[in-house]
Amino acid sequence: MSKAIIIYDTRSGNTKLLAEKIMKRLEDLGTSVEIYRDKEFKSIDSIKSFDIIGLGSPTHGGQMAMTFKKFLKKVNQLNLQGKKLIIFGTGADPNSPPKICNDIKETVSPTGLQTIAEIGCVKKPNDEIDKEIENSIQKDMF
C-alpha cells in the first residue's frame, strides 16, 4: 500500500478543506494518508518514509504563506528522489492558485520530487473541485 503525507498551511480553513479532499481521494485509491498543518509538523526527516507528499498553501500578498515558505526550506534539505508530489494552493484571485502551485514546485525542486498533480482552488473548495481532484489524481500515477 502506498503511503502519503499531506502538509499544508491555512488561516481561515480553505486550504485545510482542500487538503482533506485530496486526502479522501488518496484514501479512495487505497493509499494510507497522514495529514498535518505545517506548524504542528516537526519531524521533517520522517517525510522520507512516504511515497507521496502533498504540499499546499493559501496566497498571502501574492506569495505562499510565510510559515509555509519557512517549512519548505526545511523540506529542501531532504533528498526525495523517486517520490511523488501533489501540490495545491488557494487564493482569492483566480490567478493566485496556479502561481502558488508553481512557486511550491520551484521551491522544492532541489529535493528531486516528481510533481504528479497541481490543484488550485479559488477561495473555499466546493463540490466542483472534487471532479478536478478525481481527474488530477489517478491510481496509475503511483
Considering only 23, 80, 96, 129, the residue that binds ligand FMN (CB under 6 A) is: 96
Nearest-approach distance from CB 26 to ligand FMN, in angstroms: 19
Q: Are 108 and 118 in contact (CB under 8 A)?
A: no
Contacts 24+ apart (CB under 8 A), 104-107: 104/55, 104/56, 104/57, 104/64, 104/72, 107/64, 107/69, 107/72, 107/76
Helical pair 14-28 and 127-136, crossing angle rounded to 10 deg: 50
Taking CB under 6 A as the rule, does residue 93 contact ligand FMN? yes
- CA dist 98 and 134 (Å) reads 18
Considering only 59, 68, 72, 80, the residue that binds ligand FMN (CB under 6 A) is: 59
Select 73 or 92, whichever has its Cβ closest to ligand FMN. 92
Give the H/E segment covering residue 47.
none
Within 72-91, the residues that bind ligand FMN by CB under 6 A are: 90-91
Nearest-approach distance from CB 59 to ligand FMN, in angstroms: 4
Considering only 5, 6, 7, 14, the residue that binds ligand FMN (CB under 6 A) is: 14
Give the torsion sign (CA, 49, 131, 71, 81): positive
Nearest-approach distance from CB 140 to ligand FMN, in angstroms: 30
Taking CB under 6 A as the rule, does residue 66 contact ligand FMN? no
Please name the residue ranges forming H helices in 10-126.
14-28, 66-75, 96-107
Taking CB under 6 A as the rule, does residue 38 contact ligand FMN? no
Considering only 39, 45, 62, 112, the residue that binds ligand FMN (CB under 6 A) is: 62
Binding site for ligand FMN (CB under 6 A): 10-16, 58-62, 90-93, 96, 123
